[in-house]
């Protein structure tokens, strides 16, 4: 819609003799009586024009020239806003576009010809996914969908490490449980993984190999088995939420030397050293972040000779630059908040364009059951498992609940609410609107023999003029702008709110306007409007990864 107003307003400003570098802001007023769109340009420029805003607004209005039949009314209101009211003809005429474009409606071109990478989940295979990971997973998946909807070619990547110390402990944990299974006395340290799944894996190995492995102290077999089993289970859990990655990036590849015998990690060290940001002391190799104003330097290679996580993180991002992504989105939880500034700093020093990197941090999840808030910890094995939650409330509710709050706010996941098959549950409100439309279309087919999906008599839409029809149509046309806003803010929650308002407006329209019982042309027009609504809901649901039931 900005595209509709911008040229007209710009040209009016020129004609009025206003020169300004202020950005022209066109917004939808919260209150409908202030029109469909409004601009505050007169308020912004009044000072530099040495005029009062209302007077200036009137002058601007004189020079506004819109295409015929689009604008019903323009007025100056309040301190100097210019408010625009569309004709219902223009709104309904525009709704045709939704029906013409179908699944492609709302697809933007901002990312056309560009590649984006969204990295999310990225849990090391040390245990089943927890609810906290789920939020990041769904957030990342929705962001990937949103970027794809803007025309980007999106790679969904999972970054993991199966070579670190945690994995060693995992292997050792499984070995101990296996020994226990073989009837040996064991001492199971607190530092090891306590979860029941460790016993399951041990049991699995025992069933395969019997007790023969008890003779060896080799951890490798246990680690490998555990990794394979856990990774498979992680993917299975993600699959239940329709989360699929295109690419798995193993951190360890950054440790292995290339043809020239140099590892990616080593190249990072060399490059930073050349820029004067590396020093060695206390037996370790340091990134001199004190030169950047930070309190402490950061370790890149520990005195043990192993890289700390920061070094491969930098290398990993360089790999993204080398793979030539125009946008790189990193999704992670609030507990990793301190992780990225150093990486960004290092990349800046190495002359990479870090403005391509977008960070989406999601705050924590607490679950409420019976009004009791539960806290969790992976290590202690008492974490809430994502699988259990999906068992409990289903995939749709899981996904929707994770993104129906802003990522910046703590999520209070009310398990009982999500389970309810009733009006209190917001998932059903959205899905019901879709099911209701499907049912309506089926019924219309039966009663009148008219199928809006196989007709192109779209101009009938222009017969619709009632407020509830107009408001619904207007809301549908906002879909492309909502996608843009969601991408810009990295916030799928915007889409949830938007779809909720679409559902609400449809229900009102349905309540107020008889459809099948209306006279034939109006009936057809209203069926077209319903079909367009269903299209928007479907397109939106696809981005959120929620199913669109045809009946409920």
Contacts with RNA in 347-366 (CB under 7 A)? 361, 363-364
Judged by beta carbon, residue 147 or residue 506, the one nearer RNA is 506
In this chain, which of 162, 251, 345, 396 binds RNA, going by CB under 7 A? 251
* Closest distance of CB 115 from RNA, Å: 25
In this chain, which of 188, 426, 478, 522 binds RNA, going by CB under 7 A? 426
Judged by beta carbon, residue 148 or residue 361, the one nearer RNA is 361
- Segment 79 to 98, residues that bind RNA, using CB under 7 A: 79, 81, 83
Judged by beta carbon, residue 123 or residue 205, the one nearer RNA is 123
In this chain, which of 69, 337, 459, 465 binds RNA, going by CB under 7 A? 337
Judged by beta carbon, residue 141 or residue 313, the one nearer RNA is 313
Judged by beta carbon, residue 205 or residue 367, the one nearer RNA is 367
Within 10 angstroms of residue 326's Cβ, the number of other Cβ atoms is: 14
* Closest distance of CB 367 from RNA, Å: 11
* Closest distance of CB 260 from RNA, Å: 25
Round to whole Å and give the CA distance between 45 and 24: 10
Round to whole Å and give the CA distance between 127 and 125: 6
In this chain, which of 180, 200, 339, 416 binds RNA, going by CB under 7 A? 339
- 165 binds RNA, rule: CB under 7 A: yes
- 20 binds RNA, rule: CB under 7 A: no
- 6 binds RNA, rule: CB under 7 A: no
* Closest distance of CB 54 from RNA, Å: 11
Residue 276, classed as helix, strand or coil, is: coil
Q: Could you give the count of Cα atoms lying within 13 Å of 363 in the half-sphere of its Cβ?
A: 11
* Closest distance of CB 517 from RNA, Å: 6
Round to whole Å and give the CA distance between 279 and 268: 13
- Segment 370 to 409, residues that bind RNA, using CB under 7 A: 375, 405-406, 408-409
In this chain, which of 271, 279, 284, 326 binds RNA, going by CB under 7 A? 284
State the SS3 of 51-100: CCHHHHHHHHHHCCCCCCCCEEEEEEECCCEEEEEECHHHHHHHHHHHHH
* Closest distance of CB 361 from RNA, Å: 7
* 512 to 91, 451, 466, 497, 526: CA distances (angstroms): 19, 22, 9, 23, 12
Residues 6+ apart with CB under 8 A from 209: none
In this chain, which of 239, 246, 280, 335 binds RNA, going by CB under 7 A? 335
Residue 413, classed as helix, strand or coil, is: strand
Round to whole Å and give the CA distance between 332 and 361: 5
Contact 85, 31 (CB under 8 A): no
Which range touches RNA (CB under 7 A), out of 56-64, 161-169, 189-197, 272-280? 161-169
Joined together, the tokens standing for residue 490 give 């990295």
In this chain, which of 229, 288, 374, 516 binds RNA, going by CB under 7 A? 516
Judged by beta carbon, residue 92 or residue 482, the one nearer RNA is 482
Round to whole Å and give the CA distance between 241 and 120: 14
Which range touches RNA (CB under 7 A), out of 64-72, 98-106, 414-422, 537-545? 414-422
- Segment 113 to 152, residues that bind RNA, using CB under 7 A: 124
In this chain, which of 26, 288, 344, 463 binds RNA, going by CB under 7 A? 26
- 280 binds RNA, rule: CB under 7 A: no
Judged by beta carbon, residue 274 or residue 335, the one nearer RNA is 335
* Closest distance of CB 310 from RNA, Å: 7
- 334 binds RNA, rule: CB under 7 A: yes
Q: 186, 123, 132: which is closest to 160 by C-alpha?
A: 123
Contact 511, 544 (CB under 8 A): no
- 309 binds RNA, rule: CB under 7 A: yes
Round to whole Å and give the CA distance between 24 and 9: 8
In this chain, which of 77, 214, 292, 463 binds RNA, going by CB under 7 A? 77
- Segment 29 to 68, residues that bind RNA, using CB under 7 A: 29-31, 33-35, 38, 40, 43-44, 47, 53
* Closest distance of CB 242 from RNA, Å: 21
- 507 binds RNA, rule: CB under 7 A: yes
Contact 496, 120 (CB under 8 A): no
Judged by beta carbon, residue 182 or residue 445, the one nearer RNA is 445
Q: 206, 161, 155: which is closest to 179 by C-alpha?
A: 206
Judged by beta carbon, residue 157 or residue 205, the one nearer RNA is 157
Helix axes 310-322, 340-349, angle to 10 degrees: 60
* Closest distance of CB 547 from RNA, Å: 13
Contact 310, 300 (CB under 8 A): yes
Residues 6+ apart with CB under 8 A from 344: 354, 357
- Segment 168 to 227, residues that bind RNA, using CB under 7 A: none
In this chain, which of 265, 486, 493, 533 binds RNA, going by CB under 7 A? 493
Round to whole Å and give the CA distance between 129 and 390: 12
Contact 21, 14 (CB under 8 A): no
Contact 320, 117 (CB under 8 A): yes
* Closest distance of CB 411 from RNA, Å: 6
Which range touches RNA (CB under 7 A), out of 138-146, 190-198, 429-437, 539-547? 429-437
* Closest distance of CB 369 from RNA, Å: 14
Containing 222, the helix (H) or strand (E) segment is: helix 220-240
* 397 to 63, 368, 416, 423, 516: CA distances (angstroms): 51, 15, 11, 13, 32
């Amino acid at each position: 819609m900005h595209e509709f107003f911008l040229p007209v307003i710009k040209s009016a400003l020129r004609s009025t003799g206003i020169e300004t570098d202020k950005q022209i802001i066109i917004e939808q007023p919260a209150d409908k009586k202030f029109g469909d769109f409004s601009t505050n340009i007169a308020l912004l420029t009044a000072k530099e024009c040495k005029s009062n805003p209302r007077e200036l607004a009137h002058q601007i209005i004189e020079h506004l020239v819109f295409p015929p039949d689009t604008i019903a009314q323009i007025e100056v209101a309040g301190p100097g806003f210019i408010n625009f009211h569309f004709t219902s003809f223009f709104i309904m005429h525009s709704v045709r576009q939704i029906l013409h474009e179908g699944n492609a409606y709302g697809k933007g071109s901002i990312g056309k010809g560009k590649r984006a990478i969204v990295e999310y989940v990225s849990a090391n295979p040390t245990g089943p996914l927890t609810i906290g990971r789920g939020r990041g997973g769904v957030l990342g998946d929705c962001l990937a969908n949103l970027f794809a909807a803007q025309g980007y070619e999106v790679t969904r990547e999972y970054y993991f490490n199966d070579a670190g110390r945690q994995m060693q402990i995992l292997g050792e944990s499984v070995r101990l449980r296996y020994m226990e299974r073989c009837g040996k006395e064991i001492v199971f340290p607190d530092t090891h993984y306590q979860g029941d799944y460790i016993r399951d894996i041990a049991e699995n190995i025992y069933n395969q190999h019997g007790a023969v492995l008890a003779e060896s102290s080799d951890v490798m077999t246990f680690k490998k088995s555990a990794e394979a089993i856990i990774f498979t289970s992680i993917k299975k859990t993600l699959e239940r939420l329709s989360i699929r990655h295109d690419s798995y990036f193993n951190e360890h590849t950054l440790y292995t030397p290339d043809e020239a015998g140099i590892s990616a990690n080593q190249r990072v060290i060399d490059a930073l050293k050349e820029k004067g940001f590396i020093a060695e002391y206390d037996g370790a190799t340091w990134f001199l972040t004190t030169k950047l104003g930070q309190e402490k330097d950061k370790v890149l290679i520990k005195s043990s000779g192993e890289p700390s996580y920061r070094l491969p993180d930098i290398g990993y991002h360089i790999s993204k630059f080398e793979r030539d992504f125009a946008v790189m989105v990193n999704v992670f939880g609030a507990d990793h908040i301190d992780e990225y500034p150093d990486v960004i700093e290092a990349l800046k020093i190495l002359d990479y364009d870090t403005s391509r990197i977008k960070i989406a941090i999601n705050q924590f999840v607490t679950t409420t059951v019976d009004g009791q808030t539960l806290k969790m910890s992976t290590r202690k094995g008492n974490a809430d498992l994502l699988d259990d939650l999906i068992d409990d409330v289903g995939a749709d509710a899981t996904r929707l609940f994770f993104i129906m709050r802003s990522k910046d706010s703590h999520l209070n996941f009310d398990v009982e609410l999500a389970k309810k098959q009733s009006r209190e549950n917001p998932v059903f409100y959205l899905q019901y609107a879709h099911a209701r439309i499907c049912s309506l279309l089926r019924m219309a087919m039966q009663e009148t023999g008219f199928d809006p999906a196989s007709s192109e008599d779209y101009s009938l839409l222009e017969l619709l003029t009632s407020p509830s029809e107009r408001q619904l149509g207007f809301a549908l046309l906002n879909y492309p702008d909502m996608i843009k806003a969601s991408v810009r803010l990295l916030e799928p929650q915007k889409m949830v709110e938007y779809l909720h308002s679409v559902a609400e407006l449809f229900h009102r329209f349905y309540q107020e306007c008889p459809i099948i019982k209306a006279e034939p042309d109006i009936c057809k027009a209203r069926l077209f409007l319903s079909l367009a609504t269903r299209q928007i809901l479907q397109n939106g649901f696809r981005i959120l990864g929620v199913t669109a039931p045809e009946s409920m």
